[in-house]
Amino acid sequence: KICLVHDYIVTGHFSQTQIQFADQKQEFNKRPTKIGRRSLSRSISQSSTDSYSSAASYTDSSDDETSPRDKQQKNSKGNSDFCIKNIKQADFGRREIEIAEQEMPALMALRKRAQGEKPLAGAKVVGCTHITAQTAVLMETLAALGAQCRWAACNIYSTQNEVAAALAEGGFSVFAWKGESEDDFWWCIDRCVNLEGWQPNMILDDGGDLTHWIYKKYPNMFKKIKGIVEESVTGVHRLYQLSKAGKLCVPAMNVNDSVTKQKFDNLYCCRESILDGLKRTTDVMFGGKQVVVCGYGEVGKGCCAALKAMGSIVYVTEIDPICALQACMDGFRLVKLSEVIRQVDIVITCTGNKNVVVRDYLDRMKNGCIVCNMGHSNTEIDVASLRTPELTWERVRSQVDHVIWPDGKRIVLLAEGRLLNLSCSTVPTFVLSITATTQALALIELYNAPEGRYKQDVYLLPKKMDEYVASLHLPTFDAHLTELTDEQAKYLGLNKNGPFKPNYYR
């Protein structure tokens, strides 16, 4: 198996040289299918779309409440192949994208170095990710490298409307707006995929909803699709399960488990954005608050570190004894959720699992407890169980609800259990530059790989690619790497130029 990107990393040109990939297999997440668009969509991806309240209430009160699907909009060039909130916001979105470009040095460097060769010429990329200023920089980089792009949002609350407008004004086919309904969500994905005369040959996904939709609705498209690049733990889990079931019909790149994703995006991004999301929605003071963080993976580690630094008393729940031991040695008390649920002020889930906080726990929470999720999937908190006649929902502000019990007790639920940081605040651009650059290189590799190089399986990125992505970001800090001498390299059994870690290093 050969990594096309390697020679580009070394020489600045795309050619072929060998790097071994590690591969893994798990079982695809099987979901029951029902007849009908709305019932089908709910069974396909409860993680991203299930909503039991009006999504329109999440849009700014100053916005036109008319559904974008009912509007006829055109950009300044007369193009109407998009569906967004308001094309008139394009100038504001463009300014946000320009700010993001300053914090995404690797993508800008990749755009400058490779656009002359157009390594993605002929690529037709259909994407389903959070549509933010950072994603816009990635999309415009892919276009500079020769790709055509059509895009939808992977989360109904995370789209930055002004950025979507800027992309549409720039000629991108974008179908997304903040506060989509469940039906809107799948309609947008379908509009991206189902266009007469346009056939995608690459998929860039975040959560697996786009991939799964194509499998369910347009399976014949996979005859021309060269590969899938997946970013999230939820989407990767689905791909491994599909592979184990023998149903994965194209190669897929697992970006989520790359070092540049796990040790940077998951950790540092969440370390900063957890505080931002909580502050913007609740104005809570963290000092002295008792907080339980469910899960001590990289996301949980980032959340715990931030909260501890702010003076919170932090508890951790964990199923993995290794992560549990790390939590203990980092100074956190490991507990079962049932042991602290009555006393904590804030509950944060970040496990990637389902039913972590069930109705019984919600019933036992103290008055005023804040409940939120930092995982990709909205299945961690059993929000559906709160939609019962005896409980009252009261909108406090955008993305903040009081759920009130008959005795007057109330909890504060954020973003209806969806991803807190991208639903309620923003995330650090520089960290996303690392992940986005990795995604771009993975797309280049899969698209240019000759037939047969990759089988119908899920592949991990080589360490050489991870190290290259990291090296592109070091100049921002005026950082200077130490170089091995020939004698040192021989002693360690390494190439002086790397990779410095084995493929199994995580």
Q: Is 301 annotated as a binding residue?
A: yes
Query: Which parts of 11-147 are beta strand (E)?
Result: 17-18, 23-24, 124-129
- Tell me whether residue 36 is annotated as binding: no
Do 383 and 413 touch, CB atoms closer than 8 A? yes
Q: What are phi and psi of 87, to 5 degrees?
A: -65, -20
The answer to whether the annotation marks 297 as part of a ligand binding site is yes
For 165, phi then psi, to 5°, come to: -65, -40
User: 250 labelled as ligand-binding?
Assistant: no
State yes or no: 299 annotated in a binding site: yes
Hey, what long-range contacts does 315-319 have (CB within 8 A, 24 or more apart)? Answer: 315/290, 315/291, 315/340, 315/344, 316/292, 317/292, 317/293
Asked if residue 198 lies in contact with residue 124, where contact means CB atoms within 8 angstroms, the answer is yes
**261 assigned to a ligand binding site:** yes
- For residue 298, say whether it is annotated as part of any ligand binding site: yes
- For residue 49, say whether it is annotated as part of any ligand binding site: no
Question: Is the bond preceding 499 in cis, omega lying within 30 degrees of 0?
Answer: yes
318 is in an annotated binding site: yes
User: Half-sphere exposure (CA, 13 Å, Cβ side) for 366?
Assistant: 13
Do the beta carbons of residue 38 and residue 183 sit within 8 Å? yes
Residue 316 known to bind ligand = no
DSSP string, 81-113: --B-S-GGGHHHHHHHHHHHHHT-HHHHHHHHH
8 A C-beta contact, residue 348 and residue 291? yes
CA contacts within 13 A on the Cβ side of 423: 30
177: Cα within 13 Å, side-chain hemisphere: 28
Q: Is 132 annotated as a binding residue?
A: yes
Q: Which residues pair with 254 in a beta bridge?
A: 230, 460
User: Where would I find the H helices in 310-355?
Assistant: 321-329, 337-340
Residue of 372, 432, 392 lying closest to 157 (CA atoms):
372
d(CA 390, CA 383): 14
Give the CA-trace dihedral at 42, 45, 48, 51, to 10 degrees.
10
- Chain center to CA of 87: 25
Three-state DSSP string of 438-469: HHHHHHHHHHHCCCCCCCCCEEECCHHHHHHH
Dist CA 332 CA 314 (whole Å): 6
Binding site listing for substrate: 132, 206, 231, 261, 265
Binding site listing: 132, 206, 231, 261, 265, 297-302, 318, 421
Binding site listing for NAD(+): 297-302, 318, 421
